[in-house]
Structure formats: structure tokens, C-alpha cells
Structure 1
Amino acid sequence: MARPASGAEHIDAAKALLRTAKTAEELRRAQAVLLPLTQGFSMQQTAAVIGRSVGATCSMRTRFLAVHAGRRAAARSKRELRNHASVPLQEEARVLDKVFSGAAEGQVLVVPQLKPLIDQHLGKTLSLSSIYRMLARHGWRKLAPDTAHPQGDAQAREDWKKNSAPRWIKSAPASPTLRR
């Protein structure tokens, strides 16, 4: 015989979550608590009803009870976590506005040269890929491709180009009667 479900003291909190659930995950969480307590469902039956595995259902239920008993902090939303970022979006936007102030005047911005300024404003060192991802998050994009190295010699590049006449001449198409 299975062990009786615990957590009867949290039925009211689960019912409140059931009424106010905005996502399917919140609804499943409330059902994982309520179905065993109010309907007498086993963990296997509850898992089948909410569409999760038995292990996931048990974890969901245990986490809900621990949060409402005060033994565990509530999980933050995915939007709030933002891939475990250590700098909030508002802070990133503020730093980018300071560092890239010349972009509004049409200046060419070269990220590797501005990296030390970004690091200084944030108070920590970031990799170039992190800076490029930050720029993408805030809607910055590369508008024109780099055509030449900034320290290159344009005259030497023009001198190096081949200026000969084209040697390829388009031949007439083969006639359909000539076959090999």
C-alpha cells in the first residue's frame, strides 16, 4: 500500500495557485499538490493526468510544499534569470549608452577597441563574445561589412589589383545535332 500524501496544510495555497495560474507549468504544479490530497490519486495517476513523469511530478510537488513551508526560496522566473546573467539588462543598456555615445553621430565603432571601456564601466572583464551577445540583446547590429583593415594601405591595395582585360570569352552554345 502506498504512503498517504502529505502537505494537507498547503491545500489553500495550491487552490489559490490553481485559480491564478498564468502558465501551464503553474497549473501543473497546483494539480500535482491537489490531486493526491483531494482526489486520492497515486503519484502515477497524478503524473499521467498532468502529463509529466512520476519523478518530475514528485519533484514539482516537493518543491511547492518546501516553498510554502518556508524551507526553500521560490524559483525566479526565466525572464528574471536571463541565463544566470550577473549584470541586469538596465545596467547593460546604461553602459552601452555611455560607451557608444559616438554611434549617434555616425562614428565607426570597433568593439575590440572599446572593450576596455566596457570592462571599466562594468567593473569586470568580459570576453569579446559576451560583448557581441550584449550588443545583439540590445538591438545593435553591424550595418556595413568591413571592407579593409583599418590600418591597411588603400593605395597599395589598388596597385595590387589585377587590371588586365578579361580573358574569358563566352563561346556559342553547342548545337543539338553535334553529339559526342
Structure 2
Amino acid sequence: MDWSGGPKTGLVADLVDAFLAAPKRVAAEAAWQQGNRPAEFRALWPILVEDSLVGASMQATAIPNSPEPQFTITLNIPDCVWRLDFEPSWKRHANPMWAAPALGDFVVNGPHFHAWADNSSMASLTQVPELLCARALPATVKTWKQALRWFCAETRIELAKTQMIEYPPREGLI
């Protein structure tokens, strides 16, 4: 199945569902690189499905000099279909009013995730939706490594120990 060329036989949501259901693995080790902003670092892991590169990737963005750990992990095909936002406890994410009852709350404080299952109903025939709906990250996920492992487990991505990277070190004074 061609994951990168858009829908061939049905709804984009069906293709994303099939992609997420398939076992995946990281194709190579990643390293932190300078991000789009001066305080930002990015890492990119190509994703294999059935031993083939399909244009999918897992990307992490970190802000190591933030007073509290702050990072995002995304799964992209090439549009983002799953996202984890590890944000300070004072940051808020507002869910759409219509979705709040199913998600547990209108506002999520701090670390949260945007699962495809909570957002797929907004997909059009040919486009992945913006991931508006989020849930609180489990309280047991407190560190970069725990978050990366949890994300990979939730999205069925095999990440070898050698492919796990350390959170980027703080630089200079804040």
C-alpha cells in the first residue's frame, strides 16, 4: 500500500487507520539538530512499514533551556497524525466544545497528547485534519525517555535502545 501518495481507494482516514495499525519501526538513529528557532532542537527518525520507507517520520522538537521540560513528538505521513505535547503544567490546551465530553474535559493542563482516534472524524476525503482534540498524558509519563517510549508504544513504533537519544542538554544561562 502506498502511504505517501494520498488516498488511492478510500478515505484518507482509512489509510491513516491502516498505517497506525501496521507494525512500524525506526529506520535509523537520530541526532539533535538546530531547530527553526534559536532555542529549539529537532530530531527526525524515518519510519519503516514492512521494511519499506514510506515517507513517514517521527519527529521530536525540544526546548532544553525551558525552566520545565518542554518538547513535542509527532508522527507524520507526511502530515501529522499523532502528537504528544510535553508542556509546563501552567500551559493550557482547549478542546473543541463539541468534543469535550468524550475527551473528559474542555481544558487540558500541561502534558497532553493528540491521538488520531480522537481527531479522525474531522478528516476530509483527502486531507488529514488539524489535531484539535487532546487528552492529558498519563501521570506516570514524567520524563523525555518515558514520553518517547509511551508515544512509540501507542503508535506501534519499534524503537531500539540504540535509537533512543538523550534529551538535549541545557546551554548557557537562561
TM-score computed with the length of structure 2 as normaliser: 0.22
The structure with the largest strand share of the pair is 2
- Larger RCO, structure (CA 8 Å, separation 6 or more): 2
Output the TM-score relative to the length of structure 1: 0.21
Bigger Rg, structure 1 or 2: 1
Higher helix share: 1
